[in-house]
Amino acid sequence: MTLVFLAAALGLFGTARWKLSQPIRPENGPRLIPWRFVAIIAGTLALLMAVNLIVLAGFEPTRRF
């Protein structure tokens, strides 16, 4: 389940970054979806899912060596 959410978050992040790289065309009107905010949220979710996978693998990221 975590892998599915990680793949979805990475896909959404990639799509949002691609849409941000497109030039703004004033003749098409304003952008109705805030792609920068979508990319930040998707990247944060992907990071959280990656940490969850690390914890499920048995590693403790907060433990000192």
11 Cβ contact partners less than 8 Å away, ≥ 6 residues apart: none
Would you state the pLDDT for residue 61? 74
Residue 64 placed within a domain: no
pLDDT one-digit tens code per residue, 1-13: 999 999 999 999 9
Q: Which of 46, 56, 59, 57 is nearest to 15 (CA)?
A: 46
Would you state the pLDDT for residue 65? 64
Residue 49 placed within a domain: yes
Would you state the pLDDT for residue 36? 96
Count of domains forming the chain: 1
Range(s) of the domain holding residue 42: 2-56
pLDDT one-digit tens code per residue, 13-51: 999 999 999 998 889 888 899 999 999 999 999 999 999
